Structure 1
Amino acid sequence: MGNVCSISLSCDTIISRCWDCVAGQVIYACHLQENLADLNTALDELKERRNDVMRKVDIAVQQKLRPLDEVGGWLSRAETMIHEVDELLIDGPEEIKNLCMGGCCSKNYKSTLNFSKRVAKSVRDVKDLKGKGAFEVVATEAPAAPVVPRPSDSAVGLESMFNKVWSAFEQKHVGIIGLYGVGGVGKTRLLTEINNKIGVSSGGFDVVIWVVVSKGFYVGKVQDDIAKRIGLFNGNWNDKAPEEKATDIYGILREKKFVLLLDDIWERVDLSKIGIPVPTKENGSKLIFTTRSTAVCGQMRAHEKIQVQCLPEEEAWKLFEEHVGKDVFDSHPNIRGLAQEVAKECGGLPLALITIGRAMACKNTPEEWKYTIEVLKKSANFVFPNMGEEVYPLLKFSYDSLPNDMVRTCLLYCSLFPEDFRILKESLIDLWIGEGFLDEHDSQAQNQGHHIIGSLIHACLLEEVDDWYIKMHDVIRDMSLWIACTCEAEKWRFFVQAGYHLTQMPEGGRWKGMRRMSLMRNEIENLTEAPNCSDLQTLFLNNNPQLKVIHNDFFQYMCGLKVLSLRGSLGITELPVGIAKLVSLEYLDLSSTNIRELPIELKALQKLKCLNLSYIYCGITIPRGLISSFSKLRVLRMIGSYLSDEAVEESHECLLEELQCLNHLNALSLSITSAFALDRYLNAERSHSYTEEIGLEILNGSKQLNILSLANIKSLHTLAVRGCRSLEEVKMEWAGEGRMIKAQSHIQTSVIATQHCFQSLHHVYIYGCSKLRDITWLILAPNLRTVDVVDCNEMEEIISEVKLSQVAGLVGTLTPFVSLEYLTLGFLPKLKGIYRNALPFPCIKKIKVGNCPMLRRLPLNSNSAKANKISIEGKEKWWKELQWEDESTRNAFLPCFVAI
């Protein structure tokens, strides 16, 4: 009949195939419980991997590195999968209840079968995603701008010298220029002006590289600085030998027209060992270096040698006059003439003119000026080659002019750090407290320390790098060491070999009689010998990354030691029990090490005032009762560190209880890593009075945070919220009169109360909060100086207009960011706005925007940031597409742009 298709299968075949199908389905149900357990384990491992990657990303962002796109994508996929699997696991117990016949059948077979298949697939998917998250590198250097502008002081008096150097720089046949002259004569200022002039000239250079070389330089440090500028400092760079690094650098620079600026050379630098192509007329590249020795100019084969000389009398007077100030000259008719005599005594040395001019800026009587002339005349006829006998006594006038011995002592202490070292203000003040320099019973010791730093900056004896760091001019440092080791050697007895690349500790005999030793920034590998140094009070072992072993007897003869710093010595994983011998210790810094447990023997340190346990990322165990045993503790820093105890919540609670026992504590910083710990901290009200810095880190499961719960922490100056991936909203709810006043409330008392909270908050960092949409609460912090918002995928607005209307009763007429100096916005793909209106920004210095493609407008108009020297950093494409309020605003900020 027509076309008929006939298929013949035996009954046994049909039954067999049906059985295979059914058996295959049954297997899913039979293994459901086992697969659920596997899924739970795999999910925990994925969460751990996610947390590890997030932590690496946070560290990289803090180091101004750019997270890789594949890392961001993986974290996003991990977050989605964790959410989906968490929801899947919620249904697990119900599906298990439906199983019968030993788990091989179900009351709701179809539902259980589908669920079992999803569980089995999820186990595979979770394991696969976890395997893809094993990143060796999570971030890379952001593309470097051709020139990085450098802050520059007044160039008064250097105009003619600058023109001479620039003229040589423009000569095509001049590839290498050496600037030589005595310390403090202005060589670095000249080099800075050259750097900045290249930035605005049309020389066509691909990259300008600045490297500070300094005394005791080594090839690796110079190579690393160059690598950071040309994008090589990533991946396995640190594992390469110097020869390999040289090859890589050469491969990049030979294809570029570059300018290399080497500051403060003390000996010949072999360019080939570093990997620098020799600048020639053919390649158009340039090398300019500064040195104190004309011999070095010859060794470097400089095509042009230019001596930077002291200023002639007229220029010297202009510079001195600028730093003394017009008000002083107007205070008495005789002072101007006396001031000219003082300027002459400075011999035209710019550093002396600046430091002494600044020291005289508050001298309003002729008698004070006459006395200064008498002091300076004792060392007037100086000859520069002999710095120790002639120049240092001249600069010592500024040292002698400091208000008291306490300030002088604090200055000399800074010379324990290496040349050109950026000294963290907070750490320096902690050291001064530990040394006993500051008022012993003053609860405002931190403020006193900042006051002293300010007075030393004002006297030009310290230089301010930014809000956080200061440094010491190398000539001032040399002078300070000269005072400590020569003029007042018996009092100080310094031994400073910081940055000397030592691989072994100094011989035991070198320790005898010393009071303060600085061995920081070396490669010392172990401390085995027990040096005889009963007079030793201070020991800096910071930044010795190769240091792994400290022998148990090393501290045996250091019973008088007051300060011990192991900061940044990453190789250290444990402390010797012998540290209990340091019964006089008042300052202990273990930050940025890998110490996993504090020995209970530390209880012997009954005089301890300052303890720094910050940035111990590996997790640290603190024995119960240890912290509370430090009854004299005044400063405790634990920001960025994690408690490794299995019962973390119990450990947090125990720590907070112990803090309540410390009657002298007046400075605390800590990280809080769970909602439970945050709740316990908020209930420990006594801790609020001295908390300076809080890190809210990885608060898993917390969708909301009421920021006003932190409002009573009057001393809080820094708040960091990192890796809180589940945080969706920061609310503003004010508790008052026995009830909660909601954001919509217009009660006047809440307005007054709210406007007086967060007065001390200066720095806010929001990193890796992927669900947060706004941070409108910042309007409650009127004195903010720094705001960083990075890697927040859902962030749409910084200050939300809708949220502001909801909290009108709390914020009143507050204007945000009236004190803001630095604003950084990075990796915010949905960010559309910062604030609804243009802001005055009276204090702003820098706005940095990266990877914020939807941010088309900045809250600026032609009246914003007036009289400020502001820079706006971002990508060229973003800048070109930026929308402005009007043409005058665009023109006002056009010169402020710096491409990154």
Structure 2
Amino acid sequence: MWGAAASGIGSAAASAVGTAAGDETYQFAKEIINNLSCKVDNEADYDLEYNYGRLIKQAKELYACRDDILAQAKTKLVTQVYEAWISRVMKCEEEVQELETKYKKEKSNKRTWSQFFRGLSESRTNLSQSMAEECKTLHNLWVEGKSDIGIVVEKLPERVIIMHGPKSEDKIFLDSTVEEILGHLRDKNVKRIGLWGMSGIGKTTIMQSLNNNEDTAKMFDIVIWVTVSKDWNLEKLQHKIADRLKLNMEGITDPNEIAQLICRDLKSKRCLLLLDEVREVLDLPLIGMCESEKDSKVVVATRNYHVCCDMETDSEINVKRLSEADAWKMFKVKVGRNVNLPGIEPIAKLVVSECAGLPLLIDKVASMFRRKDNFHLWSDGLRSLRRWPSIKIQGINELIECLKFCYEDLDDEVKKVCFLYGAIYPEDYEIYIDYLLECWRAEGFIHDTSEFRVARDKGHSILEELISVSLLEKSAKMNHVRMNKVIRNMALKISRSCNFKILVKPREGLQEAPNEVEWQQANRISLMDNKLCTLPEMPDCNELSTLLLQRNQDLIVIPESFFGCMQNLRVLDLHGTGITSLPSSISCLKCLKALYLHSCSCLMELRYLEGLEHLEVLDIRDTSLNHFPIQIGRLNQLKCLRMSLTNFGIRHSSNVEYCRNVFSSLLLLEELLIDVHPNNQSWEVTIKAISEGVAKLTHLTSLSICFPTVDCLKSFISTSQLWKDFRFTFQFSVGYHDMTPYKILDCFKYQIRKCLKFANGEGVDPIISDVLLETDAFELIGHKGTSRLSDFGIESINKMRGCLIEGCNEIEMIVDGNRVERSVLICLEKMFINNVPNLKSIWEGPVHNGSLSQLTTLTLCKCLKLKKIFSGGMIKQLSRLERLKVEDCPEIEEIIAASENNDLKPDALPELKMLELSDLPRVKSIWTSDSLEWPSLKKIKIFRCQMLTKLPFNNENAIYLRCIEADQTWWSALACQDDATEQRLRSLWFQSP
């Protein structure tokens, strides 16, 4: 309105001027115009200032809204609506800046009379109107942004966050473990997997490789990695998982609510949770890891085996040290070209041996030697490495601190001293478990029980704890443990700083004993496996509690007064030395608890034992003693006796009555082992007398003895009260035969407590069937008069876990299913059939459900008439069979006969991992087609099977097969159904030497 009025007045004024009126009229008009113009100008200024203020305010509000949404967009998934909105806001920002520029320019203009009459004040009004319109646009965008509808949506977490993965040279040595874990992840029955092993063994590298693996990403919707720090707590762990899942936990502090939030989010996801460096048991449901509808899984990496068990893992994988060959390969790759310098390789191999097969240590040491470019530097480096950890070597001492944590974390002093005791043996020395536990007890580490069996059980508990925290490790040799070089170095370092004073010089080629000061300062001395030929006359070592001198074969004479100042000696090991007798000072050892003299092949007499009033363990096997040691009867504290009768009874049969009385007088005896030469019948009278004495013992818990005849066994069984109560474990050998050792025992990873060997017998004696009722493992050698194992009675053979049948010419089958109406061999885990020439089949007739359901190993060798392995229905029961070996069976044409298994399902033999076929001249097929899945098969060995020219594999089954070992001739004759299968099988072929 005011703009129009001003325009009209302006026209009137111009007209007035144009008519050249008088001055009075002109002045009057001018005054009116000035008053009106001022009024109009003030009104325009007011509108402009008002709209400018609104513009700036609403622009700031919109920009703040935009910045908030941009912040959200960093963690969320943006939409096209969001992108369009941001684009419009950016355009508005440009328009606001343009309006601001115009405003500032307008404010700087000075108005004149002429400008007023030209109508230029209209610009302010137009600018003000533009600002008002822009304000509307800004407000609408702000409202749209604040509504947050369709602008940003929750951004899904990444499926996998790639970790800093293992180097290629490390990865190749860990692939087999990664593949094993992947196999468990594919198994619907496996929910939790435990990965355990000592520090530096490569657990984190394995976990990283698993995290980054393409197969892992395909199996799961999300993979969550959490390193459980030393100072972890429930809240920290939950927040790490929640952050990875991008959960909004604003205002939520209660761990239970957080757990429910995590659980709800994972309910519909296939999640793999990787927990690294777990030091103690985690309650997964408390964290939020509940049972998922989508098959979520957890992998736990820890130093402690018990963590896996307590977290109820379905499978535990022990990460072992690298083999010598793999350690060498890894070291060469990491060191690089300098390892190829002249004269370096022999030193380099010694360097690798110092690393004890630990990938982390190999990595550290290789980086140290990588800079050494001549022989002298390598030699000096090796000397320094051998002195570690007594000297500091950069980059390595952190490992010893990690290992020391495992020691310090042991919850009592007994476990710590038991661990340190292991350092008195050489590095990687195979320590027999029973022997080690006996030494622990003799030393007083296990002192709160008088019963040997109870002490042994407690010792096993301590041993398992040390193994579970990786301070000791199980050996490949049955019932043995060992301490690796690095752990042993740590133990030696710890022993120097505490009161566990040890002098350890095993396997150092010593020809002279240590000096007097060294004897005096130590309380445990190990000089085993040296070349000592002399010992000091009477070393001053009253604090000495253990002395190990075993296998010093040149040590023939021990000075008469040698033991005079060893009143506190508790363990003395002289086995395998060249001594012919014991010195008189042996009687001074009033505290001696364990004496080992076995394999002293020159020891002909045993005297001066009367002073050993506290002796509990005596081992005199395989000596040259040719008469029964009468002094044994005076050792009334004896709890464990191991002896041989190889030479007894040949010239001194008059001692028979004394033998009977000696054993009946050893009232506290708990463990007795008596060896004989199986084919030497001269011990028959002696053993009968001994068995009569042994039958009267009331504390016996373990008995290993040979009975020359079934009647002798029957006599013992009928008179032994302990047998009637089934209160002891046993190894009974009945009959004369060639080999004393029980072959079957070495085939089990756990200890078999009750074993019977029946050699060169005839028929089925009821007493044998009675003993079989209590037997875990049975060896039937050279038997006559029966054609079936089942003739011994189904009830009798149903408890056995292992069975070896060898040299039994009349055995035609193992079980006749036509004669039984129930499950048979329901506990059998391992069966070995060797040199049974008339065996025609393992099973005849119907196979009742549950029969052979626990069988894991089946070996058939030299069964000349055997034509079929799996009879009709038998293979369906073998759900746990892992290893099948068939050797030198010339009549077999099919491993799985089609005529006996015409309805075989694809998932047959689901656990079979190893198949070994050799010297099978007629075998034409493993299975007639490629219809079986072979879901667990990993390795096949084929030797001298010239007619086997086709394998039952295609490009899709046997997905875990990793090796086909065979010679070049056989491989050249192999026919494959297509090129893809041939290419795959060729990649798996390993040429046998």
Q: What TM-score, normalized by structure 1, do the two folds share?
A: 0.51
Aligned partner of 1:422 among 411, 427, 430: 430
Q: CA 1:400/1:566 → structure 2, altered by over 3 Å: closer, same or farther?
A: same
What's 2:614 paired with?
607
CA distance in 1: counterparts of 2:646 and 2:506, whole angstroms = 30
For residues 158 and 621 of structure 1, the distance between their equivalents in structure 2, rounded to whole angstroms, comes to 71
Describe how 1:587-598 pairs up with structure 2 within 5 A. Answer: 587-598=594-605
Kindly state the Cα deviation for residue 412 of structure 1 after the two structures are TM-superposed: 2.3
2:195 is the counterpart of 1:311? no
TM-superposed deviation, 1:629: 1.1
- The letter of the residue matching 2:705 is G
| SS across alignment from 1:311 | helix
Contact 2:519 2:540 in 1 (8 A): yes
Query: 2:491 matched to which residue of 1?
Result: 480
Counterpart Cα distance in 2 of 1:871 and 1:160: 38
Structure 2 residue 550 is the aligned partner of structure 1 residue 550: no
Distance 2:696 2:911 in 1: 47
- SS of equivalent residue, structure 2 residue 462: helix
Give the deviation of 1:525 after TM superposition.
Answer: 3.7
What residue in structure 2 maps to residue 637 of structure 1?
642
Partner of 2:684 in structure 1?
A: 674
* RCO comparison, higher one (Cα < 8 Å, 6+): 1
Partner of 1:301: none
Pairing 1:794–2:816 present = no
Q: What is the match of residue 460 of structure 2? A: 450
- Alpha carbons of structure 1 residues 387 and 526: separation in structure 2 relative to 1, 3 Å: farther
Give the Cα–Cα distance (whole angstroms) in 2 for the partners of residues 471 and 334 of structure 1: 38
Report whether the alignment pairs 1:537 with 2:542.
no
CA distance in 2, matches of 1:864, 1:162: 45
Distance in 2 separating the partners of 1:323 and 1:556: 63
Deviations 1:353-381 (A, max 9, x none): 642575587599xxxxxxxxxxxxxxxxx
Q: Is the 8 A contact 1:845 1:869 kept in 2?
A: yes
- Give the alignment partner of residue 470 of structure 2, picking from 444, 460, 470: 460
1:723 paired to 2:736: yes
Query: Structure 1 counterpart of 2:663, which letter?
Result: L
Cα distance change, pair 604–728 in 1 and its aligned pair in 2 (3 A): same
Secondary structure class of the residue paired with 2:303? helix
Query: Aligned in 2, Cα 1:388/1:315: closer, same or farther, shift over 3 Å?
Result: same
Question: 2:567 aligns to what SS in structure 1?
Answer: coil
Q: Contact 2:866/2:892 (CA < 8 Å) preserved in 1? A: no
CA contact (8 A) 2:537 2:560 kept: no
How far apart in 2 are the matches of 1:665 and 1:325?
Answer: 52
> Cα offset for 1:818?
0.7
Q: How does 1:322-471 map to 2 (within 5 A)?
A: 335=237, 343=276, 354-356=302-304, 362=310, 385=393, 389-438=397-446, 439-442=448-451, 443-464=453-474, 465=476, 467-471=478-482
Q: TM-score, normalised by structure 2?
A: 0.47
**Do residues 623 (structure 1) and 639 (structure 2) align?**
no
Indicate the residue corresponding to 1:497 in structure 2.
505
Correspondence 1:780 to 2:786: no
Shift in alpha-carbon separation, 1:845–1:862, aligned structure 2, 3 A: closer
Q: What number of residue pairs does the alignment pair up?
A: 554
> What aligned pairs does 1:852-863 form with structure 2 within 5 A after superposition?
852-858=863-869, 861-863=874-876
**Distance in structure 2 (CA, Å) of the matches to 1:162 and 1:833:** 52
Pairwise CA distance, 1:585: 0.9
- More displaced stretch, 600-609 vs 839-848: 839-848
For residues 831-842 of structure 1, the aligned pairs below 5 Å read: 831-832=839-840, 840-841=851-852
In 2 relative to 1, CA 763–357 (structure 1 residues): closer, same or farther, beyond 3 Å? Answer: closer
Displacement of 1:677 = 2.8
* 1:354–1:460 Cα contact (<8 Å) kept: no
1:413-464: CA deviation from partner (whole Å, max 9, x where unpaired): 2222222222222222222222222233235222222233333333333323
CA contact (8 A) 2:695 2:716 kept: no
The residue identity in structure 1 corresponding to 2:809 is: E
Sort the Cα spacing of 1:599 and 1:402 in 2 relative to 1 into closer, same or farther, 3 A.
same
Which structure would you say has the larger Rg?
Answer: 2
State the 1:561 CA deviation. Answer: 1.1
Q: Distance in 2 between matches of 1:318 and 1:472?
A: 33
Amino-acid identity (%): 20
Q: Quick one: distance in 2 between partners of 1:576 and 1:191?
A: 56
- The Cα offsets for residues 6-44 of structure 1, whole Å up to 9 and x where unpaired, read as xxxxxxxxxxxxxxxxxxxxxxxxxxxxxxxxxxxxxxx
Q: 1:873 to 1:788 in 2, by over 3 A?
A: same
The letter of the residue matching 2:205 is: L
Amino acid in the other structure paired with 2:427:
E
Cα distance, 1:608 vs structure 2 = 0.2
Displacement of 1:386 after TM fit?
A: 5.2
Query: Separation in 2 of the partners of 1:324 and 1:692?
Result: 49
Pair 1:661 & 2:665 matched:
yes
- Equivalent residue of 1:611, what SS? strand
Look up the match of 1:250. Answer: none
Distance (whole Å) between structure 2 residues aligned to residue 450 and residue 323 of structure 1: 35
Check whether the contact 1:416–1:518 (CA below 8 A) recurs between aligned residues. Answer: yes
Alpha-carbon distance in structure 2 between the residues aligned to 1:648 and 1:769: 33
Whole-Å Cα distance in 1 between the matches of residues 557 and 565 of structure 2? Answer: 18
When residues 826 and 546 of structure 1 are mapped into structure 2, their CA distance, relative to the original with a 3 A threshold, is farther
Partners of 1:717 and 1:683 lie apart in 2 by 16
CA-CA distance at 1:325 after TM superposition: 13
Structure 2 letter corresponding to 1:621: H
| Equivalent residue runs for 1:124-143 within 5 Å | none
| Cα distance in 2, alignment partners of residues 895 and 409 from structure 1 | 41
Name the aligned partner's letter for residue 574 of structure 1: S
Measure the CA separation in 2 of the matches of 1:704 and 1:630.
27
Alpha-carbon separation, structure 2, partners of 1:663 and 1:484: 39
CA 1:606–1:420 in 2, change beyond 3 Å: closer, same or farther? same
Superposed, 1:246-285 pairs within 5 Å as none
- Which runs of no fewer than 5 residues in structure 2 stay unpaired? 1-161, 180-199, 214-222, 242-272, 280-299, 313-362, 366-392, 677-682, 739-758, 919-993
Aligned equivalents of 2:560 and 2:226: distance in 1?
Answer: 55
Q: Distance in 2 between matches of 1:898 and 1:323?
A: 40
Q: Note if contact 1:729-1:774 (Cα within 8 Å) is conserved in structure 2.
A: no
Query: 1:595/1:845 Cα in 2 relative to 1: closer, same or farther (>3 Å)?
Result: farther
Contact 2:853 2:877 in 1 (8 A): yes
What amino acid is the match of 1:585? Answer: L
CA contact (8 A) 1:874 1:899 kept: yes
Aligned with 1:588: secondary structure? strand
Alpha-carbon offset, residue 897 of structure 1 = 1.9
Please say if residues 586 and 609 of structure 2, whose CA atoms lie closer than 8 Å, have aligned partners that are also in contact.
Answer: yes
**1:635 positional shift:** 1.3
Displacement after TM superposition at 1:545 (Å): 3.7
The match for 1:30 is none
The alignment's C-alpha RMSD in Å is: 5.2
Q: Counterpart of 1:499 in structure 2: which amino acid?
A: R
What CA deviation, in whole Å up to 9, does each residue of 1:675-718 have, x standing for no partner?
Answer: 67347625743337515242326x37979979965854531243
